[in-house]
């Protein structure tokens, strides 16, 4: 498997909507499906600062050759209760943080390093910009939680977004501390 991580292009978005749809039954990400808005708005979100696509060389789909099989985005941290928890836990204001978001991979490629490579690209971008990575994750997304924990992320609290059903546990708020 030859994998390339590159900046996401506008031409990737239709394929990524398909990847999102295909992976959702296995991952339950996004938690609500079908979405109450166009899935393109989940793939490309307001406040997004960077986005990366995972491309398997030699396949089809996407904008620049190869088969697009997943993505991760980096977004500014919105002003909300989650931001308050992250800023309290890190001692940084929102401008010193950046959020990993919209992170998904085709289910048949899980466990093969694609997610790790995407996460590394997002974290690298955040660190290059002098900021600290943060994210939120639904506890039911155990594969994602395990990936984050293996990568050194720590849980600093919990939160309950408005879209989360009452019978689900609160989302975990995580931070990846500066290795220095």
In a domain, 57, yes or no: yes
Residue 155 lies in a domain: yes
pLDDT for residue 63 is more than 50:
no
Pairwise CA distance, residues 111 & 125, whole Å: 23
Q: Does residue 180 form part of some domain?
A: no
Model pLDDT for residues 107-157, shown as the tens digit of each residue: 999 889 999 999 999 999 999 999 999 999 999 998 899 999 999 999 999
Q: Is the pLDDT of residue 106 over 80?
A: yes
Count: domains in the chain:
1
Question: Which residue range forms the structural domain that includes residue 64?
Answer: 3-175
pLDDT higher than 70, residue 62: no
Whether 81 shows a pLDDT value over 90: the answer reads yes
Give the CATH number, domain containing residue 67.
Answer: 3.40.630.30
173 and 85 Cβ atoms separated by less than 8 Å: yes
Look up the pTM and report it: 0.93
- 37 within domain boundaries: yes
* Token reading at 151: 């990568």
């Amino acid at each position: 498997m030859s994998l390339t991580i590159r900046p996401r292009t506008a031409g990737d978005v239709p394929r990524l909507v398909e990847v999102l749809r295909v992976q959702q039954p296995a991952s339950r990400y996004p938690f609500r499906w079908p979405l109450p808005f166009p899935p393109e708005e989940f793939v490309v979100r307001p406040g997004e600062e960077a986005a990366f696509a995972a491309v398997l060389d030699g396949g089809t789909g996407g904008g620049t050759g190869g088969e697009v099989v997943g993505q991760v985005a980096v977004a500014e941290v919105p002003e909300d209760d989650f931001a308050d928890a992250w800023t309290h836990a890190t001692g940084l204001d929102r401008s010193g943080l950046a959020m990993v978001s919209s992170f998904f991979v085709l289910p048949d490629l899980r466990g093969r390093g694609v997610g790790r490579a995407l996460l590394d690209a997002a974290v690298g971008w955040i660190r290059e910009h002098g900021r600290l990575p943060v994210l939120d994750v639904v506890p039911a997304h155990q594969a994602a939680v395990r990936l984050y924990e293996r990568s050194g992320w720590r849980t600093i609290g919990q939160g309950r977004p408005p879209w989360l059903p009452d019978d689900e546990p609160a989302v975990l708020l995580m931070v990846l501390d500066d290795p220095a």
